Amino acid sequence: MASVVPFLDLNLFPDPPAATGATSSAGLLIPKLEPKVEPLDEPTPAQTQPHQPNSSSPNPRLCFNSLPDSFFSELNSNSADSVQGTDNSPDGKNVYSEFHRISELFRTAFAKPMQKQERVEVAVPDPDSKAIVPVPDENTTSAAVVPARRKCKPRSSELVRVMNMGADDHRYFRDVVRKTRMVYNSLRVFAVAEEEKRFGRRCRADLKAAAVMKERGLWLNRDRRIVGSIPGVFVGDLFFFRMELCVVGLHGQAQAGIDYLGATHSSNGEPIATSIIVSGGYEDDDDQGDVLIYTGHGGQDKNSRQCVHQKLEGGNLALERSMHYGIEVRVIRGFKYQGSASGKVYVYDGLYRVIDSWFDVGKSGFGVYKYKLIRIENQPLMGSVTLKFALTLRTTPLSVRPLGYASLDISMKKENIPVFLFNDIDANHEPMYYQYIVTAIFPPFAYHEENKGCDCVAGCMDDCPCARKNGGEFAYDQNGILVRGKPVIFECGTHCRCLASCRNRVSQKGVRNRLEVFRSNETGWGVRSLDLIQAGAFICEYAGVVLTKEQAQIFAMNGDSLVYPSRFAETERWAEWGDLSPIFTDYVRPAYPSIPSLGFAMDVSRMRNVACYMSHSSSPNVMVQFVLYDHNNLLYPHLMLFAMENIPPLRELSLDYGMADEWTGKLRICA
DNA sequence: GTATAGTCACTTTG
DNA sequence: CCAAAGTGACTATA
């Protein structure tokens, strides 16, 4: 092979040629993709709004040109100004219009012919029965109103590798990816709810959400075929659906396990593989983590049984060619996982290199192609390893980590689930010495506000008084996942007659994940979970002793550090959750129930809970959602923390404290 | 009731 | 335009 090298081997990793487009005429061209560099005097990319894909930035090549301007457009800000009790009274119609409007928008967006015509026939009632005939929705049955599927631009064939990402670039692309995934998640949850409501059955909401986003041009990275890491996607990131991988551009095949640039599109006429998914569908796979024997695709029957020999074509050939050129391949692993909607979870495990390939006789007796992949060094710990490690840590923490656990429950049984304290850095055990509280302690007068609950002994429905208090809909889905952030959420509470199982009781039930306070060189203390935390899930309350404005002033004069909930209110992270403005141009963010500006402060110098050890981040994975349940006083809501993305086990939780400059780190009361 | 096998409707891509 | 790539929701069975 050394004698004839038809294509220049650029030895692209780890030190590819610097010059964009530097290649021989015969060579395989993978231009280096420079991250966008913003001039210093301009705002950082993440703050640039609206984003202009075709703006004259110094390097316009790295633009997500599939994102329309509206993706970053400001939310309809005037809606936030509406005052409670005027045009949004709980008894007024406007409360409902907000919710119904979304519902309507949703219906038009998802208007499609029924999946099966028979379903309508099945619904034809027995003449003797009094069953109600489901009225076929005119949107779904009439072909005339089904919007023509907009032609989506095909994937680009330009093969590129993203290089030299700075910290700002990472933050910027992380933000883009996260926003995109939040939109996907919102659409999916809405699709589930709508289908349930209209037909009483589940549907492929994963496909629907992806389809709507594709129609709107919201899929990422379709303008370039990226070799190597995808900007904004980290090793260890978790996905629950294959289509979500397509949407962020991590893996572009809806079904196939090997994603590749086809021979006809490649600059040298050869196919090139860019990513693979290992999900256990091939019996001849041998997954040792760092070293992976991967089986090529094809040759299986409908029941995933190998029935013919595989051929060296398509993805199989592409993997072989990737080996030839030493091109790195993204590896995603799929696992069974209880607790995810699909029963599966996909983990991005980073980059591998194919070092060997051969034709072998598989267990079935038929020929299969095999590829030996080795994980490229100096990458973050594999997500799948962390998942498994966390699993053992949950059951037998001391056997896996014999040293470092200072406490197996700093809450002293006050939380539903023990909160661990881990420190393998120094002898500091401070978190053990504070009085642990599970919930915020409000001044007694906060409870004087009259709280009228509901009488739904049989379970709360969409028309229950408590739903009305939330603007005509419940904030949570059937699994207790936050559907859309709101200025404040009214959960059913002590004055309601519904049962504890009511779907409108979520954050009041407390911690559901195994949380761990840990010592860190970077952040002092941090918080992480041993369980996977699903996006939109409740994590814990931010608890402390609530001080009135006057009390807070005295405390502040003494130099005590206080937490000001108004700062969380200002960041308005809740508004990002469930924000569908990229889909619906006339989307209006929830404005009801609105809350007055919060004057109170929280003192965590004596009593606190796990939350106050959370680090600050301007690109956080946790947000504050104000909630009321045990009293009705809008001036004193609970600060409830929810996950903004799927948080892998052992990844540090972070919160946007909306801090001013004097807050350089996270809130650090303890030295 | 709870794992598991089979069936069905899907989609994107080269 | 089509074949081929699995998945997720459901349903029947052990």
Domain boundaries, chain A: 32-63+151-234+237-379, 412-418+430-515+531-609+617-655
Distance CA A332, CA A252 (A): 12
At residue A396, the pLDDT reads 81
Name the residue with higher pLDDT: A583 or A61.
A583
Cβ pair A326, A13 in contact under 8 A = yes
Distance CA A650, CA A382 (A): 12
Distance CA A469, CA A511 (A): 25
Cβ pair A71, A51 in contact under 8 A = yes
At residue A108, the pLDDT reads 61
Cβ pair A460, A498 in contact under 8 A = yes
Strand partners, A367: A361
Average pLDDT over residues A137-151: 39
How distant is C1' of B13 from CA of A288, in Å? 30
Average pLDDT over residues A505-514: 94
Q: Which residue is nearest to the C1' sugar atom of C7, using CA?
A: A255
Q: Strand C: which bases are under 7 Å from protein Cβ?
A: 4-10
How distant is C1' of C5 from CA of A547, in Å? 60
The residue with tokens 């910027």 is: A172
Q: Which residue is nearest to the C1' sugar atom of B14, using CA?
A: A262
Which residue in A51, A54, A276 sits closest to A173, CA to CA?
A51
Confidence of residue A50 (pLDDT cuts 50, 70, 90): very low
User: Which nucleotide does the CA of A258 lie closest to, via C1'?
Assistant: C5
Q: Strand B: which bases are under 7 Å from protein Cβ?
A: 6-14
Cβ pair A642, A538 in contact under 8 A = yes
Distance CA A6, CA A3 (A): 9
How distant is C1' of C9 from CA of A437, in Å? 42
Which residue in A234, A106, A169 sits closest to A578, CA to CA?
A106
Q: Please check the confidence at residue A420 and state whether its pLDDT lies above 50.
A: yes
Confidence of residue A43 (pLDDT cuts 50, 70, 90): very low
The residue with tokens 């038929």 is: A366
Strand C close to A281 by CB, under 7 A = yes
| Cβ neighbours for A150, distance < 8 A, ≥ 6 positions apart | A215
* CATH code at A412-418+430-515+531-609+617-655: 2.170.270.10
Confidence of residue A101 (pLDDT cuts 50, 70, 90): low
With 0-12 CB in 10 A as exposed, 13-18 as middle and 19+ as buried, what is A567? middle
Query: A480's torsion region: left (phi>0), alpha (psi -120 to 50) or beta?
Result: left
Q: Do domains A32-63+151-234+237-379 and A412-418+430-515+531-609+617-655 have the same CATH topology?
A: no
Report protein residues in contact with nucleic acid strand B, where contact means CB under 7 Å.
A 115-116, 152, 154-155, 204, 207, 210-211, 214, 222, 246, 252-255, 260-265, 271, 302-303, 314
Average pLDDT over residues A2-25: 29
Strand C close to A336 by CB, under 7 A = no
Please tell us whether the domain made up of A32-63+151-234+237-379 is placed in CATH 2.30.280.10.
yes
Confidence of residue A660 (pLDDT cuts 50, 70, 90): low
The model's pLDDT over A366-411, given as tens digits with 9 standing for 90+, comes to: 888 999 999 999 999 999 999 888 888 877 888 888 889 999 999 9
How distant is C1' of C4 from CA of A230, in Å? 26
